[in-house]
Amino acid sequence: MFEVVVQKGWDSGWQAHYHLPQFRFLNYVQGELPSYWLRYSEGVVVEMIEATATLLSCSYGNPSMLGPAHYMSLFDPKASWFRKWTVR
């Protein structure tokens, strides 16, 4: 699903261009999500956290494949969204 092969650097094919806006939006949502947690029940917040952890833990047997964590690191190399989640 999120498979983009890296050969001799970044592959800027149509698949990469298809996923980049999606992960840019996901990065924005992950950064803003902690400010809305008080509006949701604890169960919903736990589901959001588990879904994010599941998405970012996806990996492939081939190390030349980019996964969701690679895409997220393109938009937020210092993982500031994670700092917002954990430091309050």
List of residues 6+ apart from 5 with CB closer than 8 A: 11, 62, 64, 65, 66
pLDDT tens-digit map of 47-86 = 988 988 888 887 766 676 777 888 888 888 888 888 888 8
- Both tokens assigned to 62: 């081939």
- Both tokens assigned to 27: 């990065």
pLDDT tens-digit map of 23-40 = 888 889 888 888 888 898
Task: Give the count of beta carbons closer than 10 Å to the beta carbon of residue 26.
Answer: 19
Q: pTM to 2 decimals?
A: 0.69
